[in-house]
Amino acid sequence: MLDCTPKEIKERTGGVINPAKTCQPIGAMYAALGIHRCLPHSHGSQGCCSYHRMHLSRHFRDPIMASSSSFTEGSSVFGGGANLKTAIKNVFAIYNPDVMAVHTTCLSETIGDDLPTIIKGAEIPEGKVVIHANTPSYQGSHITGFSNMVKGMVNYLSTASLETKKEQVNIIPGFVNPGDMREIKRILKVMGIKFIMFPDTSGVVDSPMTGKYEMFPKGGTTLAELRDTGNSKVTIALGSYASGDAAYQLERKCQVQPLIIKTPIGIKASDEFLMALMNKFTVDIPPELAEERGQLVDIMTDTHFHFHGKKVAIFGDPDIVIAMTEFLLSLGMKPIHVLTGTPATGGAIGHTVGNFEQEVGEMLKQAGVAGRVKAAGDLFELHQWIKNEPVDLLIGNTYGKYIAKAEDIPFVRLGFPILDRSVHSYLPVVGYKGAMRLLEMISNALLDRADRDAKDQDFELVM
């Protein structure tokens, strides 16, 4: 049995065992993939780029393209400026993207490469754009990296070119799957609201099979749309950690009103998302969405007794975990261990966005659930909590399977990365439809388990 975790908890200060996060650049790479015809570029040695592509490939099961500055010993002594200039030249000559989105690595950050200056001095073909984000790996997490690259899009591209703002909304969806982004776009279309979603990885990392390989698939937010974000009336940032910074930056730069709300996972957060749209635009909730909500409530009613009082451990990225915790509480479940690997307060530079421990702590308190909440935690610690106070269900990314197996707990995969299952990135967990899917996943996990454990005399046809 793969279980090296002792039950006794002692304080650790030396590092992390079994991380619940990874480093900034992969988040930046994922965000950059959400721009139409964009090639993400990793400014550092080859390993980083290779790992990020591999990890994203495993999660999305689609080709993930990104170039590297291919640092050698020389570059780390004399600076990577020459490498980046060569890279910019080569990337446009060979791959011909519309946008090249450069992110730094711990190496290029530490030797102090000044990206804005290098980029300004580089030969960039006419009509092409190079943007950048600083993503030192020793700060924050992959969520911080995502946030920084989205902010980079605003810094470089958003322009307030009109005197009066357009009746349109910017949506920053956060570090979610392309299936989620499609669902959010569907909701906006059904509501009849004009929108620009950025980044938008749908159509890029879930592109259809045509038998022809496209280095730059159809999807992604276009350059024109990114520029036009400065003309929108309002920005709705879904999830404070991954999307908040960019929304505030758009306010500073182009006076677009920011609104930071939860990732719309579960009934309450989805309601809030629709209410926010209703408040900002004079629209009613269309019957289609009202019907979906009704169906969701119907399912929740039909099944609430399966969920009631069940203890849950949940870990993952802060925006997802915060919203999911709220949904679990609305089902009458008890999320008693809640953990993220990302540091407590988001926003690497400038604004502080989000406060994981306080936000989740408040929700648990209001629901009368005694639970442990931690930011900047690791899975070793979560495992120890579970050993000391067992749960009925574990929710998190693929790495949770070690704990689930060791402790024999039903396990629902949610978040990033999911490396051992397919289809997940196509199907949403956001909105009312997403909530239905989550209900199915959770109840299947619990009921399969009940069937498996039932003695013959307790085995039932109808549950």
DSSP E strands, 340-402: 372-374, 393-396
Cis peptide before 264 (omega within 30 of 0): no
Query: What Rg do the C-alpha atoms of the chain give, in angstroms?
Result: 22
Residue whose CB is less far from another protein, 128 or 280: 128
Cβ pair 119, 102 in contact under 8 A: yes
CB 65 → another protein: shortest distance, Å?
A: 6
CB 104 → another protein: shortest distance, Å?
A: 12
Residue whose CB is less far from another protein, 286 or 417: 417
Cβ pair 26, 342 in contact under 8 A: no
Cβ pair 300, 306 in contact under 8 A: no
Bridge partners (DSSP) of residue 238 are 261
CB 253 → another protein: shortest distance, Å?
A: 26
Cβ pair 66, 46 in contact under 8 A: no
Residue whose CB is less far from another protein, 43 or 262: 43
CB 174 → another protein: shortest distance, Å?
A: 20
Bridge partners (DSSP) of residue 349 are none
Find, among 427, 408, 309, 322, the residue nearest to 368 by Cα: 309
- Can you say whether residue 372 is alpha, beta or left, with left for phi > 0 and alpha for psi between -120 and 50 degrees? beta
Residue whose CB is less far from another protein, 38 or 64: 64
Residue whose CB is less far from another protein, 47 or 192: 47
* Vertex 233: Cα angle to 228 and 238 (nearest 5): 90
Find, among 296, 278, 294, the residue nearest to 192 by Cα: 278
* Vertex 123: Cα angle to 120 and 126 (nearest 5): 100
Tokens 């993952």 sit on residue: 316
Residue whose CB is less far from another protein, 110 or 330: 110
| Residue 462, Cβ density class (10 Å: 0-12 exposed, 13-18 middle, ≥19 buried) | exposed
Backbone angles phi, psi at 419, to 5 degrees: -105, -10
Token pair recorded at residue 202? 């749908």
Residue whose CB is less far from another protein, 142 or 293: 142
Q: What is the Cβ-side half-sphere exposure of residue 84, based on CA atoms within 13 angstroms? A: 30
Residues ≥6 apart with Cβ < 8 Å to 53 = 29, 64, 65, 66
CB 429 → another protein: shortest distance, Å?
A: 23
Residue whose CB is less far from another protein, 13 or 366: 13
Cβ pair 335, 315 in contact under 8 A: no
CB 96 → another protein: shortest distance, Å?
A: 6
Residue whose CB is less far from another protein, 145 or 431: 145
Tokens 């719309």 sit on residue: 264
CB 289 → another protein: shortest distance, Å?
A: 33
Residue whose CB is less far from another protein, 17 or 259: 17
Bridge partners (DSSP) of residue 39 are 100
Residue whose CB is less far from another protein, 70 or 257: 70
